[in-house]
Chain A
Amino acid sequence: MNIVNQLQRQFLDYSTSLHREGFVDEQFTQLQKLQDENSPDFVVEVVSLFFEDCEKLINNMASALEQTQGVDFKQVDASVHQLKGSSSSIGAMRVRNACIAFRSFCEAQNRDGCLRCLQQVTHEYSLLKNKLQTLFRLEQQIIAAGGSIPGAD
């Protein structure tokens, strides 16, 4: 098996595992299908935007939860809601699920619960970031080796 085929197989296996382990869902596949020769980096671009969003929102949540004078749970919830939305839009299923749990603690105005959720969300975000970076690296390797990404087109 030549190098391109090897890489392609690796890519497919990795992709499958991401889905199986719930890191991404059908919406992510949808995004991959939208990528075309007019926007060959579409997925990477959207995912990068998402990661930027994540970092910003996680910071917002952290500072809001740190307020010793009293936590503005509405503010925290607003950030969680936004994160839930964008994770849903790119198919980041585990991040999204973590947000759903988070929101109920916001509603209950439970600071400790929120802090735990924040940890969880942060954890899921960094896991996903790692996974997707690996996936994108595989794609780049395939293209560098002269092959095409399986499933595209």
Chain B
Amino acid sequence: MEAAGEVLRSGSSQELHVLAVDDSYVDRKVIEKLLKISSCKVTAVESGARALQFLGLDGEKGALGFNGLKVNLIMTDYSMPGMTGYELLKKIKRSSAFREIPVVIMSSENILTRIDSCLEEGAEEFLVKPVKLSDVRRLMKDCIMRGETEVKEGRRVDKRKLEDDNRTSSLSSSSSTPSSSPSPPSSPPFGFDVATSELISSPPHSSKRAKLRDSD
């Protein structure tokens, strides 16, 4: 696993940088430890708003890109006051700068409709809490596989538009996981955003990062 981890590019660092979002202090501490033990760099924040702030997506900062260290994975709790993990997921997936970052939802409640909507919005996985070391290890493997796929194929993978873009998918799917992750990822040509009917369309001519509205 260590060797595979070195293949990953995370800027200059070889470690995955994970942004963990959870309003529970206890859970933040646990997830932080799980990730550190899995050789990740961790930034743990208490809310979706803070997460967006960290990413530089709160509209306050300029289009600076990543706030320091590039984020390779976002793990967020579902039920949080203010902005839920689902809302955070949507904002990230609707951001041209960050939509390619895999987002994992964690929830203590195993509700099928909830899982479905999260996956539909592009969540990488839905983990039922309490999160275990084996869950984190599997995620790391998936991220690494994904990373290698990206590197090989030379393009970004975007799982959001599965249904629409199946025709364009010549990508080998990251078939490693038998879990709830949907497979063939595909990239929209030229970064064009294919909006499905229920989604708000992204801002036109976004050469800059989309300025997202905070739902707070």
Q: Report yes or no: A39 in contact with B133, Cβ–Cβ below 8 A.
A: no
In the complex, residue of chain B having the shortest beta-carbon distance to the beta carbon of A82: B24
Contact B130 A27 (CB under 8 A): yes
- Please determine whether B26 and A46 come into contact, CB atoms closer than 8 angstroms: yes
Interface size on B, residues (CB 8 A): 16
Chain B interface helix/strand/loop/mixed: helix
Known: A34-B34, A42-B33, A46-B30. A53 touches B130 (CB 8 A): no
Q: How many of chain A's residues have a CB under 8 angstroms from any CB in B? A: 23
The answer to whether A89 and B26 have CB atoms under 8 Å apart is yes
**What residue in chain B is nearest A46 (Cβ atoms)?**
B29
Q: What is the CA–CA distance of A30 and B132 in the complex, to the nearest angstrom?
A: 7
> Does A88 have its Cβ within 8 Å of any Cβ on chain B?
yes
Docked-complex contact B129 and A89, CB < 8 angstroms:
yes
Q: Are A85 and B27 in contact (CB under 8 A)?
A: yes
| Residues from chain B with Cβ under 8 Å of A33 in the complex | 133
Is B194 interfacial (CB-CB < 8 Å)?
no
Given contacts A85-B108, A86-B24, A89-B24, 11 further A-B contacts (CB under 8 A): A27-B132, A34-B30, A34-B34, A34-B37, A39-B33, A42-B33, A46-B26, A46-B30, A49-B29, A81-B79, A90-B26
Q: Which residues of A are interface residues toward B (Cβ below 8 A)?
A: 27, 30-31, 33-34, 36, 38-39, 42, 45-46, 49-50, 53, 81-82, 84-86, 88-91
5 contacts between A and B (CB under 8 A): A36-B37, A50-B26, A86-B27, A89-B30, A89-B129
